[in-house]
């Protein structure tokens, strides 16, 4: 993975020193809160219901074991012994003290991490496929491009004050695990007829109060032109994006209001004008970055024949193997998803001890590499098949072995009203109630792939618009209600969920989910997944079951 050079170190260290000075001036009263607030936000420090919250960037969701150990240490030393992995492949601490925030940033800088551009109207952490560099489904590892984007967008002076925040996602696989079409810019690595690599460029996706699926503005952009083309998009947006109304300031609104054809022409014109201005990285720089992503030296092994025998004897291991491991590009290896969704637990939360353990397991079994998925799980990307039984045993003993990846209880949920100052309703207790009810793995496997996503307000951090079942918490005269939508998807065939009707009180939501699942189970055709059944049936049968014919 990428390692900082002297410039990266110097920039990040300078930023820590600058923030330390700013915090001191705030605490002394030399800076007012009004003056200080944008400065702390630029360093990822928010103020939430109970305390400050520090959001730390995990570039494209890639961590090494040293970094994970440091994150655990920070959780223990400066926070309350745990951290929360987010839908942006980042990590958040819920209880840091202002006075200690510079020390935390210093600790992060020592392991080549920071919290820069995790807030504010700038280009945020670029996200990608959590299986990047390991899956046999990709054309090539997309992370060198994500790193190029990181370097180009970090402290980019022209794009530090965009109309609104800006999120880029990239994938190199047909199966979209990064919700590409729900981002301000989505990039899909492709090959043209002559086997040249390039990107399909998707623009104007986004969730929030106006959910929009991104539109392709270019079918094929030669890969070497990536940065100049991104710059052209950002320039058009920066100049024309609305600044009068924050709810209409995202690029999705600009694309909708301008019309995708005119918007595309504006981008192409800007690109024609500027593409030779030296924005794209020179080949040697790209090669330098790419060298950091050389695949690990995995031994090519024959498929491990004992795996089936062991699996046949242990149904729990068998479920975990089926649901939480995926095929690897190197024979004899698997990608392991560590579920941070224990039934009855808090999605995305991990204790410091669990984080330390994952780091140790990465050292022992996965080339010291760890990934964070936007679905709030952790990944060990390079595990030899013969190590799987031992790994599973250790994970299971530590509460990290729930075999539910991709199943109904692998729920994405935002922090909601238990932590978040913007929330209308609590997401986590709803998640816990659902996962406590659907806690039988056999039943979950029978139901099959079903993605539930829950947000505590319309800002949609829990991606409810993209849930096969989306749940949105709303506040109706002081009562928390939960609306259900069906048919959303973050995959390559992205779709927006359709609202079924009035919201349910918290104590009725589990019953409502049971009803929805029941309709599916009764109506599904042989092998038909929940999402496909909803698309075939439409929402009417589900509405009738939930609300009657009235």
Partner 1 sequence: MAKKIKGPQIILANRLDDGRAVFFTPKQNWSYQASDAWLAIDEAAQQQAMEAAMKSDADNTVIGIEFIGASDSENGPVPTHAKHIIQNTGPTVRLDLGYQAEGAGA
Q: What is the CA radius of gyration of the chain?
A: 23
Strand partners, 471: 454, 484
C-beta of 177: minimal distance to ligand SF4 in Å? Answer: 21
Among 147, 280, 375, 480, binds partner 1 (CB under 8 A): 480
Could you give the angle at which helices 226-240 and 260-274 cross, rounded to 10 degrees?
120
Does the footprint of ligand SF4 cover residue 370 (CB under 6 A)? no
Tokens 């299971």 correspond to: 396
Sign of CA dihedral 468, 473, 476, 479: positive
Work out which of 163, 204, 401, 415 binds ligand SF4, going by CB under 6 A.
415
State the number of binding residues for partner 1 (CB under 8 A).
Answer: 28
457 makes contact, choosing from partner 1, ligand SF4, none, with CB < 5 to 8 Å by partner type, with ligand SF4
Among residues 163 and 416, whose Cβ is nearest to ligand SF4?
416
Quick one: 44 or 448, whose CB is closer to ligand SF4?
44
Which window, 44-52, 176-184, 290-298, 526-534, contacts partner 1 (CB under 8 A)?
Answer: 44-52
Strands 333-338 and 325-327: antiparallel
DSSP letters for 387-446? GHHHHHHHHHHTT-----TTSTT--EE--GGGT-TT-SS-SHHHHHHHHHHT--HHHHHH
Q: Evaluate whether 455 touches 473 at the Cβ level (below 8 Å).
A: yes
207 touches ligand SF4 by CB under 6 A: no
Stretch that binds ligand SF4, among 113-121, 320-328, 450-458, 483-491 (CB under 6 A): 450-458
Query: Can residue 210 be called a binding residue for ligand SF4 (CB under 6 A)?
Result: no
Part in contact with ligand SF4 (CB under 6 A); list of ranges 186-194, 233-241, 440-448, 453-461: 453-461
Q: Should residue 428 be labelled a site residue for partner 1 when binding is judged by CB under 8 A?
A: yes
Contacts of ligand SF4 in 455-474 (CB under 6 A): 455-457, 459-462
Stretch that binds ligand SF4, among 351-359, 417-425, 482-490, 514-522 (CB under 6 A): 417-425
Tell me: does residue 416 bind ligand SF4 (CB under 6 A): yes
Is 506 an interacting residue with respect to partner 1 (CB under 8 A)? no
Shortest distance in whole angstroms from residue 126 CB to ligand SF4: 20
Among 47, 240, 398, 499, which residue sits at the site for partner 1 (rule: CB under 8 A)?
47
Planar angle of CA 345, 347, 348, nearest 5 degrees: 125
Residue 252 in contact with partner 1, rule: CB under 8 A: no
The partner in contact with residue 33, picked from partner 1, ligand SF4, none with C-beta cut-offs of 5 to 8 angstroms by kind, is partner 1
Residues for the chain: how many in total?
A: 550
**By the 8 A CB rule, do 417 and 474 touch?**
no
Q: Of 61-80, which residues contact partner 1 (CB under 8 A)? A: 80
Q: Which residues contact 230 (CB under 8 A, 6 or more apart)?
A: 149, 152, 168, 185
- Could you tell me the CA-to-CA distances from 131 to 258, 282, 326, 327 in Å, in that order? 36, 28, 9, 10
282 interface partner picked from ligand SF4, partner 1, none, CB below 5 to 8 A per type: none
Whether 434 contacts 482, CB under 8 Å: no
According to CB under 8 A, which residues from 324 to 383 bind partner 1?
346
Residue 26 site contact among ligand SF4, partner 1, none (CB < 5 to 8 Å, cut-off depends on kind): partner 1
Tokens of 276: 């030779």
Q: How far apart are the C-alpha atoms of 229 and 236, rounded to whole Å?
A: 11
Out of 39, 51, 433, 521, name the contact with partner 1 by CB under 8 A: 51
For residue 472, the minimal CB distance to partner 1 (Å) is 16
Q: Does 476 bind partner 1 (CB under 8 A)?
A: no
Q: Does residue 51 bind ligand SF4 (CB under 6 A)?
A: no
Contact 419, 390 (CB under 8 A): no
| CB-CB contact of 490 with 182 (8 Å) | yes
Beta-carbon contacts of residue 37 (< 8 Å; ≥ 6 apart)? none
**Separation of alpha carbons 329 and 381, rounded Å:** 10
Tell me how far apart the alpha carbons of residues 465 and 212 are, in angstroms, rounded to a whole number.
9
Q: Is 207 in the site for partner 1 (CB under 8 A)?
A: no
Select from 297, 373, 304 the least CA-distant residue to 333: 304
Which x/- pattern, by CB under 8 A, does the window 1-30 give for partner 1? Answer: -------------------------xxxx-
CA distances from 471 to 168, 383, 452, 498, 543 (A): 25, 35, 7, 11, 15
Query: Which residues of this chain interact with partner 1, rule CB under 8 A?
Result: 26-29, 33, 47-52, 80, 95, 97-99, 346, 417-419, 423, 426, 428-429, 432, 475, 478, 480
Catalog residues that contact ligand SF4 under the rule CB under 6 A.
414-416, 420, 422-423, 455-457, 459-462
């Amino acid at each position: 993975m990428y390692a900082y050079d002297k410039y990266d170190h110097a920039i990040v260290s300078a930023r820590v020193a600058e923030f330390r000075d700013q915090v001191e001036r705030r605490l002394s009263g030399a800076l007012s809160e009004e003056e200080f607030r944008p400065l702390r936000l630029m360093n990822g420090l928010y103020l939430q219901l109970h305390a400050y919250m520090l959001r730390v960037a995990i570039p494209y969701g890639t961590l090494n074991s040293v970094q994970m150990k440091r994150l655990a240490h920070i959780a223990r030393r400066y926070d309350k012994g745990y951290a929360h992995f987010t839908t942006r492949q980042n990590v958040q601490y819920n209880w840091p003290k202002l006075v200690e925030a510079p020390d935390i940033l210093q600790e992060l800088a020592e392991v080549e991490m920071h919290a820069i551009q995790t807030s504010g109207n700038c280009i945020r952490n670029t996200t990608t496929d959590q299986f990047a560099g390991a899956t046999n489904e990709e054309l090539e590892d997309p992370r060198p491009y994500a790193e190029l984007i990181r370097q180009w967008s970090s402290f980019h002076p022209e794009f530090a004050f965009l109309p609104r925040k800006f999120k880029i996602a990239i994938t190199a696989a047909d199966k979209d695990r990064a919700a590409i079409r729900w981002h301000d810019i989505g990039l899909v690595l492709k090959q043209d007829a002559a086997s040249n690599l390039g990107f399909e460029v998707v623009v104007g996706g986004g969730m929030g109060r106006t959910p929009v699926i991104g539109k392709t503005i270019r079918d094929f952009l030669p890969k070497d032109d990536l940065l100049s083309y991104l710059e052209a998009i950002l320039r058009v947006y920066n100049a024309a994006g609305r600044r009068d109304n924050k709810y209409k300031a995202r690029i999705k609104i600009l694309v909708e209001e301008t019309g995708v054809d005119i918007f595309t022409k504006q981008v192409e014109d800007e690109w024609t004008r500027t593409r030779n201005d030296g924005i794209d990285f020179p080949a040697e720089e790209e090669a330098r970055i790419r060298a950091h992503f050389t695949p690990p030296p995995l031994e090519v092994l024959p498929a491990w024949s004992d795996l089936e025998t062991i699996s046949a004897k242990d149904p729990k291991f068998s479920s975990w193997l089926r649901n939480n491991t995926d095929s690897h590009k190197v024979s004899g290896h698997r990608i392991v998803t560590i579920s941070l969704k224990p039934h009855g637990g808090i999605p995305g939360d991990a204790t410091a001890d669990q984080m330390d353990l994952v780091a140790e397991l990465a050292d022992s079994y996965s080339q010291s590499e760890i990934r964070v998925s936007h679905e709030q799980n952790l990944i060990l990307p390079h595990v030899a098949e013969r190590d799987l039984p031992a790994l599973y045993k250790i994970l299971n003993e530590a509460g990290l072995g729930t075999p539910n990846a991709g199943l109904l209880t692998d729920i994405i949920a935002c922090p909601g009203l238990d932590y978040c100052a913007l929330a209308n309703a609590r997401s986590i207790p709803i998640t816990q109630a659902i996962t406590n009810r659907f806690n039988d793995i056999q039943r979950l496997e029978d139901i099959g792939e079903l993605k539930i996503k829950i947000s505590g307000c319309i800002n949609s951090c829990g991606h409810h618009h993209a849930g096969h079942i989306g749940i949105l918490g709303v506040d109706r005269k002081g009562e928390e209600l939960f609306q259900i939508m069906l048919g959303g998807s973050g995959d390559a065939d992205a779709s927006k969920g359709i609202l079924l009707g009035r919201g349910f009180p918290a104590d009725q939501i589990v019953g409502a989910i049971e009803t929805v699942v029941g309709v599916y189970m009764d109506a599904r055709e042989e092998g038909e997944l929940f999402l496909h059944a909803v698309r075939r049936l439409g929402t009417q049968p589900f509405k009738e079951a939930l609300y009657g014919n009235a």
